[in-house]
A and B are shown apart, each in its own frame.
Chain A
Amino acid sequence: MKGAVHGRDRFELLLNRIGTPEQYEALRYRLIAYFRWEQCRDHEYLADETIDRLAQRMAAGTDIANWSSYALGIARLVAKEHRASLLREAKLMHELAQQPSHGIYPDIAVPADDPADLNSCLERFTTLQKDQLLRYYVGERGLMVENRRAFADELALTPNALSNRMLRLRKLLIHCMSAKRKERR
């Protein structure tokens, strides 16, 4: 394996080609979203697998004009392999259980609502943020779009900026609820 580029060096090479650590993070984030929307499991693992393969290609000297499109090409392949393995798994389970299969993804039960977690996590926000979250997401049915537009106007934000801001707060809420659930396990 003389001359081969390994581990850390390979990663450094990848970072150099991609540009900045921020661009690397953005690529990884997009890959995670892509795998989620492509019906894969283990999104983070698959994103890292894609990046690893991309780094391998770069280290091997493959001429890559547009690494972003190239990463998508690898991601498609990884997703295809992953779906094939899920299918094999589902078939095996089917044979073992001797029951009719419900497809790759069995129907999902809606999780039991745990208002205690939601409320205690909401308490970690400031009053203003809590009010904003509730106003944004707990609007009156049918008036949601207009209410959100008026809300953005009040804050002197564009609807998109407000949406991004609320999405970030909501992720914090999910982070908190997820941590609470893990604590109970």
Chain B
Amino acid sequence: MKAELTAYLLGNLPEDRRETVAALLFTQPDLVTEMEALEVDLIDRFARGELGAAEAQNVRARLLSSEYGMDQLRVAEGFAAQARKRQKTQSRVRICAAIAACAMVLAGGAFTYTARQKAAPPTVSTAVIVLPLSTVRGDAHVAQIHAPQIHTPQIHTPQGEAVRFAFNGTEEFPAGSVAYVHTPDRGELQLPIRTVDRSFSLGAAPPAPGRYEWEVNAGRTLIAAGEFDLLP
């Protein structure tokens, strides 16, 4: 199926099969997202120079002929540049490590190297809320999340609901707008944004402590994202 979809994107399918894929696009709800991921992947590989001449030409002609495609290419080029830079640094580190190891062996010393690299803890720049759950549950309280994102959400505690987010700013949230929230205990939730007060709620149950990541869509456009920690 993946090969068929890729061929569709690159214009390599005969007309009848092309029609079949287009029909699936309108009947299978998740197919459009799957194809978008493939589209991005092809553009990334184009930017990294990983495609053959014919494939690259098709990507150029079919996926980069729109403003959207060009925007994707700009991002892909930026990522490819970072990858090249990273590879160069890694090569230098490997060479230095090899030289150092040789020197140690020549000196006759025993060389033990613990390769276990301690993962750096995720650093949170500013988007951290530290609220006791009791506060979140009942007390009248309003706290700002100082997120370095495009918009600053507020967290507050209306009656009967555990956590509700409301958004500042001037964006319209048309019907169908959703927030995706990755929760520590319930996986990823897709929550509707109420157009009345521009907010979404995690539900009536007290939320589990831990890290929450959120992304907000106005219609189908992602407009903001952030994270916060809820401590017990």
The answer to whether A118 touches B71 (Cβ under 8 A) is no
A-B contact pairs, 25 of them (CB 8 A): A20-B176, A25-B175, A30-B25, A33-B25, A39-B11, A41-B65, A108-B60, A108-B64, A108-B65, A111-B73, A113-B77, A114-B74, A125-B149, A125-B225, A126-B148, A126-B226, A131-B122, A161-B188, A167-B36, A168-B217, A168-B225, A171-B221, A172-B215, A172-B224, A176-B150
Bound CA–CA A167/B25 (angstroms):
18
Question: Which B residues are in CB contact (< 8 Å) with A137?
Answer: 44, 76, 79
Residues from 134 to 154 in A contacting B, C-beta threshold 8 Å: 134, 137-141
Question: Which A residues are in CB contact (< 8 Å) with B37?
Answer: 163-164, 167
Bound CA–CA A171/B65 (angstroms):
18
The answer to whether A29 touches B32 (Cβ under 8 A) is yes
The answer to whether A33 touches B32 (Cβ under 8 A) is yes
The answer to whether A141 touches B68 (Cβ under 8 A) is no
The answer to whether A165 touches B122 (Cβ under 8 A) is no
Of the listed stretches B82-90, B107-115, B132-140, B155-163, name the one at the interface; the rest are far from the partner chain. B82-90
Of the listed stretches A1-9, A55-63, A67-75, A91-99, name the one at the interface; the rest are far from the partner chain. A67-75
Bound CA–CA A167/B127 (angstroms):
22
The answer to whether A126 touches B147 (Cβ under 8 A) is yes
The closest CB in chain B to the CB of A41 belongs to B66
The answer to whether A113 touches B66 (Cβ under 8 A) is no
Cβ of B213 under 8 Å from chain A: yes
Binary per-residue interface labels of chain B (175-218) against chain A in the complex, 1 for a CB within 8 Å, 0 otherwise: 11000101000011000000000000000000000000101010
Bound CA–CA A127/B128 (angstroms):
12
Cβ of B167 under 8 Å from chain A: no
Cβ of B97 under 8 Å from chain A: no
Shortest B226–chain A CB gap in Å is 6
Question: Which A residues are in CB contact (< 8 Å) with B79?
Answer: 134, 137-138
Bound CA–CA A69/B12 (angstroms):
23
Shortest A139–chain B CB gap in Å is 7
Say yes or no: A141-B48 contact (C-beta < 8 A), given A33-B25, A167-B36. yes
The closest CB in chain B to the CB of A67 belongs to B26
The closest CB in chain B to the CB of A119 belongs to B78
Binary per-residue interface labels of chain A (33-50) against chain B in the complex, 1 for a CB within 8 Å, 0 otherwise: 110111101010000000
Question: Which A residues are in CB contact (< 8 Å) with B81?
Answer: 113, 115
Say yes or no: A126-B83 contact (C-beta < 8 A), given A34-B25, A177-B75. no
What range describes how many residues of B lie at the interface?
A: 35 or more
Bound CA–CA A129/B150 (angstroms):
14
Bound CA–CA A25/B124 (angstroms):
34
Question: Which B residues are in CB contact (< 8 Å) with A68?
Answer: 26-27
Binary per-residue interface labels of chain A (7-34) against chain B in the complex, 1 for a CB within 8 Å, 0 otherwise: 0000000000000111011101110011
The answer to whether B70 touches A105 (Cβ under 8 A) is no
Bound CA–CA A126/B149 (angstroms):
8
Question: Which B residues are in CB contact (< 8 Å) with A110?
Answer: 73, 77
Cβ of B141 under 8 Å from chain A: no
The answer to whether A34 touches B176 (Cβ under 8 A) is no
Cβ of B166 under 8 Å from chain A: no
The answer to whether B75 touches A43 (Cβ under 8 A) is no
Say yes or no: A138-B226 contact (C-beta < 8 A), given A25-B219, A174-B72. no
Cβ of A124 under 8 Å from chain B: yes
Question: Which A residues are in CB contact (< 8 Å) with B70?
Answer: 108, 111
Say yes or no: A167-B148 contact (C-beta < 8 A), given A39-B65, A118-B78, A126-B226. no
Bound CA–CA A115/B86 (angstroms):
15
Bound CA–CA A38/B61 (angstroms):
11
Cβ of B35 under 8 Å from chain A: yes
Cβ of A65 under 8 Å from chain B: no
Cβ of B4 under 8 Å from chain A: no
Bound CA–CA A105/B40 (angstroms):
21
